[in-house]
Amino acid sequence: MGLTVSCSTTKNLPEGEVLYTGYKVNYQSKPTTKIGVTAESEINSALNKAPSTKILGFIPLPFGMWVYNDFVKYKKGFGKWIFNKFAAKPVFISTVNPEVRTKIAKNLLQDYGYFNGTSDYHVIVDPKDSLKAQITYDIDLKNPYFIDTLYYKGFTPNVMNIMERTKKRSYIYPGIQFNVPDLDQERNRISTMLRNLGYFYFRPDYLVYQADTTIVREGHVMMRMVPAAGIPAVAQKQYYVGDVTVDILGKDGQIPNKTTEYKGMKINYYDKLKVRPSMMYRWINYQAYIKNDSIRLLQSKRLYSQYRQQRIQEKIAQTGIFSFMDLQYIPRDTLATCDTLDVSLQATLGKPLDAEFGVNVLVKSTDQAGPGAAFSLTKNNVFGGGESWNVTLKGSYEWQIGKSRGGGGSSMNSWEMGASTSLSFPRILFPTFGKREYDFQATTTFKIYAEQLNRAKYYRLLAFGGNATYDFQPSSVRKFSVTPFRLTFNVLQKQTDEFKQIAETNPALYLSLENQFIPAMDFSYTYDNSSKRGVKNPIWWQTSFTSAGNIVSCFYAMFGHSFKEKNKGLLGTPFAQFVKLSTDYRYLWNIDSKNAVAMRVAGGVLWAYGNKDIAPYTEQYFVGGANSIRAFPVRGLGPGGTKPHTGKYGYLDQVGNVRLEANIEYRFPIWGDIHGAVFLDAGNIWNMRYDSTKPEAQLKLKTLPKQIALGTGVGIRYDLDFLVFRLDWGIPLHDPWETGKKGYYNIEGKFIKQTALNFAIGYPF
């Protein structure tokens, strides 16, 4: 079979069809308002139709059409495969439907207040080929209309009173440009507000707008909101919450066979009641402060509230007790005078135990490879209130598989193992304020842990401790984590002669690893709007603050010890004292449904003082590796302009107390679930204090630009939605230390040997 590709894009078109080659939009006038800019964007989206004669819709290379014309004749074999994989389906003028698109544009002009706006189109035939044509759309916005007044009419006195009292929070007000999206938001606002105040049957479509442009000044419109025709009487009637019945099915769906009551709440359950009635009562009957526009009130337990219904469902779901839950509000009877809704909650118990086992094999950019495993077992609903008890065991082993970039040699083997147990409560355990539930998602977690790290022929480190942490999420985009107490004890158990030699020349490394307590408090704030409706380009931003040793030092000060006194002990062992501030900002720009640009800026400052001038090794910053600056090994940079040691343990002391990092990555599809990436990474770590053993490590503005490491590279990802396998090839562009080479590109040695290959699971940021 001979395969040839011609340059014609129209030779095999169906009879009577004209190939669509693109479009152009001509605006007679440009919008002058923010809403007008939105209208223009909506119109452009409605008119947008990518032709089959361009790659990605804008590169004028009709490769897909060439394949279509030359391979459409093949019904099987390799030619058919080529056609299925690379041919572009022709887009015809008839299938673009410019008439329909023009009407949609006209409707959008009306929706955004351009009542006198016009839209039209022309088909421009290619003078060189009559079977090709493009479409030109002509849009004339003319002058927009603005809201003059808005008032309500025809509602019951109580509904009218509520609407008038909250009018200042309205999306519609005098002077705003008329636009349907704001009208819809206002209808939803009023409907939600009324449903939170007992109007169980109210819906947004029961609100209708009437507009009049004849009785107000030119270019303005008077708005009136009235009830929809045929609105049922129950929609303008308040309802109260009555009796509560809870049906708890067994974990295999067994029907309840026993009954109990608690404070008027009836609970039907199977065999054995595994939920404390007092907790169920709290979840269903808590009083929640909510904000209804300008009305801030304590919701009555008896008055129905859509907000409370959502919070009850979220709170019970948060406990993890049930695998299924259905909450319904049912009228007590069918009489017209009925104003009571009885609550029916049906739920199925979930599994009491959850187990998770994971195994992986990692190849690191430090030329370390090895298997890792983790086993986690969780017992749910430990005390009948949604508590969970978790036990986790983990371990890993690594061995050297080649030479590091610094030239180090072979067999540096390491292993790591750890165990932890935690007990979590789905609420703020203390302090408590009576028996009222907090009106947000919250958990209290107590954890103890132990980890053993062994660096073969070097040192062995044991770290154990515990903490108490509060996590609470007051909104869908904001999350706080507060750890008022965290105590870790680091024990340097084993030291080799080689380690002692390094410690003599680098005492700061030894001091960071020596036996010490780390009594700390942590606070972190996370903003994540990816789950918010309508967000096209999500933002993730996390900032954390840690304070260690300061409270203990204050106790010493109360007994006459100077705040600047060194090596004060806790149970006979020195304790660390420092403050640490870190932040990580990420932005994802979704160009379209398949192409995106991900960006990250991260930084941190760590300052040790008072009792110890050297921060613990585990608290200091490092960069490099699969999730950082990918052209350099993990811990393969810094601090500052310090050149990495060529020995096999050199990377161990490449830590610092200042971190700056920035990354940008373009992500694009390749084939099916396979995606590609092109990235650029920059950053480094530094020390705040001067160290005579590493004079180039101190942060200085004068040397900062040349001490920023820079790397680029390409990557490939296999995205299974629930799991992403990632392979990145990092290429260094600039070393932050003196290499003896002039110019910005100062990488030493052969090109291929200086690159880094990173295999990881998940996206880097």
Q: Taking a C-beta distance cutoff of 8 angstroms, is the pair 630, 679 a contact?
A: yes
List pLDDT tens digits, range 19-60.
Answer: 888 889 999 988 989 999 999 999 999 998 877 655 544 555
Report the C-alpha gap between 426 and 320 in whole angstroms.
Answer: 9
pTM: 0.72
More confident residue, 648 or 764: 764
Mean pLDDT of 228-245: 93
> Worst-scoring range by mean pLDDT, 19-23, 177-181, 696-700?
19-23
Using DSSP bridges, classify how beta strands 388-400 and 414-425 pair: parallel, antiparallel or unpaired.
Answer: antiparallel
> Worst-scoring range by mean pLDDT, 270-279, 322-331, 495-504, 631-640?
495-504
List pLDDT tens digits, range 78-89.
Answer: 777 776 666 667
Task: Look at residue 453 in the predicted model and tell me its pLDDT.
Answer: 84
Task: Look at residue 486 in the predicted model and tell me its pLDDT.
Answer: 93
pLDDT confidence band for 9 (50 / 70 / 90) = low
Report the C-alpha gap between 457 and 703 in whole angstroms.
Answer: 36
3-state SS, residue 306: helix
Tell me which fold the domain 146-236 belongs to: Ubiquitin-like (UB roll) (3.10.20)
DSSP per-residue string spanning 660-701: EEEEEEEEEEEETTEEEEEEEEEEEEEBSS--TT-GGGB--T
Query: Could you tell me how far CA 310 lies from the centroid of its own chain?
Result: 22
Q: What is the mean pLDDT of the chain?
A: 84
List pLDDT tens digits, range 436-465.
Answer: 555 678 899 999 999 998 877 778 889 899
Task: Look at residue 371 in the predicted model and tell me its pLDDT.
Answer: 65
322-331 β-sheet, strand order: 258-262, 265-269, 240-249, 340-349, 322-331
- The superfamily CATH assigns to domain 240-349 is membrane protein fhac (3.10.20.310)
pLDDT confidence band for 329 (50 / 70 / 90) = very high
3-state SS, residue 765: coil
Q: Do 19-140 and 240-349 come out as alike in CATH topology? A: yes
Q: Is the pLDDT of residue 662 over 80?
A: yes
- The superfamily CATH assigns to domain 19-140 is membrane protein fhac (3.10.20.310)
Q: What percent of the chain has pLDDT over 70?
A: 85
Burial call 636-654: b when 16+ CB within 10 Å, e when fewer = bbbbbbbebbebbbbbbbb
Which residue in 262, 265, 261, 260 sits closest to 242, CA to CA? 265
Residue 639: asked if its preceding bond is cis (omega within 30°), the reply is yes
Task: Look at residue 266 in the predicted model and tell me its pLDDT.
Answer: 96
Report the C-alpha gap between 684 and 639 in whole angstroms.
Answer: 7
Q: Which residues does residue 131 pair with via DSSP β-bridges, in sequence order?
A: none
Report the C-alpha gap between 72 and 74 in whole angstroms.
Answer: 6
Mean pLDDT of 319-348: 92
Tokens of 81: 């495969």
Mean pLDDT of 360-386: 70
The H or E element spanning position 83 is helix 77-86
Q: Is the pLDDT of residue 406 over 50?
A: no
Q: Is the pLDDT of residue 114 over 90?
A: yes
The H or E element spanning position 713 is strand 709-719
Ranges of each domain in the chain: 19-140, 146-236, 240-349
Backbone angles phi, psi at 643, to 5 degrees: -80, 135
